Structure 1
Amino acid sequence: MKRIKKVFVLIQISLWILFALLAALQLSQDTSHWFALTVGVVGTCLYVYYSHFFLLTRYLGKRKKGPYFLRLTGVLLTGPFLYLFFHYRKLDTWDLFSEYYMISLISIVIPFIFLSWLARVTENLVINTVKKEQLEKQAVEAELYYLKSQINPHFLFNTLNNIHTLVYKQAPTAPEAVMQLASLMRYMIYESNAPTVPLTREMNYLQDYMSLQQLRYKQSPVVDLKIEGETEACHIAPLLFIHLLENAYKHSPARLNPGDLKVKVEVQEDILTFSVQNPVGNNPAHTLEEPGGIGLPNVRKRLTLLYPDQHTLEIQNSGETFAVVLKIQGLQLQPHERKANLLYH
């Protein structure tokens, strides 16, 4: 707000200097007493303008109409006196005094009363608009922060238990699991604070997540991951896919065969497609409903806030498999020297 007020002050100073120069130029062509008359005109304008400006600052919107109009009347009545004091003519008769008093009242005082009101209203409008935008931005940022923080804490507890088991059994994969968990937590806590991150970094995060989930399964990787296209050139909002992947694990059968979970990331031109498919367990508790915990509603809200009118989210439930396809359009891609290779896991 201080920056906006400084801008208004600079604008007003510039306009007052320009007005004084123009008034002096005009009056110098009409009379030889142009300097005194210029001081009287500019001084009167300044007095009337800022007297009314500060009255509006003090009383505008505070429902104090009585004190405001009383002081406004005082400004109107006293406004012409500075102009009359510097006038080069000797106003020693009542008729001459009243004539120039009315001239200055109509031509100087009343117009600058209106200009001060216009300036005050304009400044308030701009400040209120900026405040509203800042509050809306803060609300959006707070909601996004809340949505990003809603990753299931049970995953962390389960992972720590799994790592504890590996350490207890002195399994050779225990150190790697600890490093993957550290990488995952570092990304969640520090790197995801940026508005956007490289898609490759987001995919590394998902792969760490998959590796830690794989500790629950003894067989080959249960996730078939495919990454296609110019992923190095693409930047997206962080933690956007994790809830979809988390839902796929959560609502799959307890026992999964290799490749049962299918995840595909594809970048074509400025369109990013993320799809995930999982089998649906026979147990009603594993049926994925639309609320689906926090997964799908969370993703919907974040997409609405981050990519309005730029995304589609398709959900298909055949009874045996559940598939989610997310497309984000209009992404700005940065040029990259080499293309990403097709990866299979």
Structure 2
Amino acid sequence: MRPVFPVLKKSKYQRVFLHILFWISVLTILTIIYGAGMPDYWLTIGIVALFMPIHIGYFYLIAYVIIPRYFDRKKYVQFVLLFLLIVLGSTLAFRLMEILVADPIIYNAVKKNDPTFVWRKLEGTFREQLAKPTYLISAFEQTNIFVWIALSVKFFKMWFDRRQAAMEAELNFLKGQLHPHFLFNTLNNLYALTLKQSPQSPGVVMGLAEILRYMLYEANTEVVQLERDISILKSYIELEKIRYEERLDIHFSINGMAPEYRIAPLLILPLVENAFKHGASEQIGQAWINMDLRVKSNALKFKISNSKPETATPDDRPHHVSIGLANVRKRLEILYPSAHNLKIMDEEDVFAVILEIDLDKRLEI
């Protein structure tokens, strides 16, 4: 199972290391860019290092002060105004560093090697140098290019984290829907057996307890063993067999099961539950449900088909958009966005669902 954008999930120390590595890379790149016209690279490193506090302060002020206090709290006007103020201040700070420190050092170093060297950039008064549009634009570009790259990564990380949180919340909501929905249906089955004073009622209670234990405690993980998920599915089928007895013909074939296969829990059970709910109507007479599960090289294919009543009742009409099927569809779109195929066929006397999943391509939330 491969996570999407795994580099985004880092520990505190890894993030610190990546930040240090980024700024060292910036220092190296700028040294290479500006070193060609300098007497030596050590001088270039020193000059570039003079400006690094401006770049670093600019980035962290916006990324860890302005964004959390204003952007995250949806104070967008204040955020934009402060952002522009910091951009302007950083540009002016960069230009002042050039005029007062960097340019004189560069000029004196070059002058030693070439006494005839004249640098027009230094012409004019301090105010005239500060106000020259060409050098202000150059300072703006040099100040912002790498900081804006870093901020773009920051905003992407924020978007990604929020997307992950939203997906996780939706998954928890969808999984939460399964529990009461399943419990309600199974309690109905148990109620029907108690009305008949069936001696099998205690067995149903035990089977229900096992399934609920799995739902509440084991299915809270991102993935489970496919074998375990299918064993719960078999337990559910056994409960339904008790309820319907000889009136329902059930066939379930399994091929290719292996301990190493993993799957997001409770994706198949709602499909089976849906088939029992709509395919075992008393109006059908001799009802039937056929299930076939095949797994090969992490490719799972599950096909389930069931009989339908000749005259649909209000409960049967929304067969293809039941809570269980809608829930499964949404969870598949989140967990296996490009690694699944869910095909629903609603014909006159047969309802069928074919689910195909590449188990190795689950999106990790």
**Fold equivalence (TM over 0.5):** yes
Structure 1 counterpart of 2:235 = 208
Any conservation in 1 of the 2:289–2:307 contact (CA below 8 Å)?
yes
2:84 aligned with 1:80, yes or no?
A: no
Identity over aligned pairs, percent: 26
2:151 aligned with 1:124, yes or no?
A: yes
Structure 1 counterpart of 2:271 = 244
Pairwise CA distance, 1:170: 9.3
Any conservation in 2 of the 1:235–1:331 contact (CA below 8 Å)?
yes
The structure where helix makes up a greater share of residues is: 2
Unaligned runs of 5+ in 2: 1-7, 68-77, 112-116
| Counterpart secondary structure, 1:230 | coil
Q: Which letter maps to 2:346?
A: N
Structure 2 counterpart of 1:133 = 160
Give matches, 1:293-308, under 5 Å: 293-308=322-337
Q: Name which one, 1 or 2, has greater alpha-carbon Rg.
A: 1
Any conservation in 1 of the 2:257–2:295 contact (CA below 8 Å)?
yes
Any conservation in 2 of the 1:8–1:123 contact (CA below 8 Å)?
no
Any conservation in 1 of the 2:107–2:119 contact (CA below 8 Å)?
no
Structure 1 counterpart of 2:289 = 261
Q: Which letter maps to 2:101?
A: L
* Structure-1 separation of matches of 2:135 and 2:172: 55
Structure 2 counterpart of 1:9 = 20
Any conservation in 2 of the 1:44–1:80 contact (CA below 8 Å)?
no
Structure 1 counterpart of 2:214 = 187
| Counterpart secondary structure, 1:190 | helix
TM-superposition CA deviations, 1:101-151 (whole Å, max 9, x none): 359989999756533311210111111112212222222222222222322
Pairwise CA distance, 1:206: 0.9
Structure 2 counterpart of 1:292 = 321
* Structure-1 separation of matches of 2:22 and 2:185: 57
User: Does 182-191 or 74-83 show the bigger shift?
Assistant: 74-83
Pairwise CA distance, 1:242: 1.6
Q: Which letter maps to 2:176?
A: S
Give matches, 1:256-335, under 5 Å: 260-281=288-309, 282=311, 284-328=313-357, 330-332=358-360
Pair 229,10 (structure 1): closer, same or farther in 2 beyond 3 Å: closer
Pair 275,296 (structure 1): closer, same or farther in 2 beyond 3 Å: same
* Structure-1 separation of matches of 2:105 and 2:227: 75
Give matches, 1:96-135, under 5 Å: 101=122, 113-135=140-162
Pair 136,308 (structure 1): closer, same or farther in 2 beyond 3 Å: same
TM-superposition CA deviations, 1:209-253 (whole Å, max 9, x none): 122233423448743222122354432221111221111111121
Give matches, 1:17-166, under 5 Å: 27=39, 41-42=47-48, 44-46=50-52, 49=55, 62-64=80-82, 65=84, 69=88, 72-73=91-92, 75-77=94-96, 79-83=98-102, 101=122, 113-151=140-178, 152=181, 153-158=183-188, 161=191, 165=194
Any conservation in 2 of the 1:45–1:108 contact (CA below 8 Å)?
no
Any conservation in 2 of the 1:262–1:277 contact (CA below 8 Å)?
yes
* Structure-2 separation of matches of 1:246 and 1:326: 15
Q: Which letter maps to 1:150?
A: Q
Any conservation in 2 of the 1:48–1:109 contact (CA below 8 Å)?
no
Pairwise CA distance, 1:50: 5.2
Give the TM-score normalised by the residue count of structure 2.
Answer: 0.67
Q: Which letter maps to 1:45?
A: F
Unaligned runs of 5+ in 1: 334-345
2:224 aligned with 1:197, yes or no?
A: yes
Q: Which letter maps to 1:9?
A: I
* Structure-1 separation of matches of 2:151 and 2:86: 21
* Structure-1 separation of matches of 2:207 and 2:354: 27
| Counterpart secondary structure, 1:186 | helix
Give the TM-score normalised by the residue count of structure 1.
Answer: 0.70
Q: Which letter maps to 1:229?
A: G
Any conservation in 2 of the 1:48–1:113 contact (CA below 8 Å)?
no
Q: Which letter maps to 1:118?
A: I
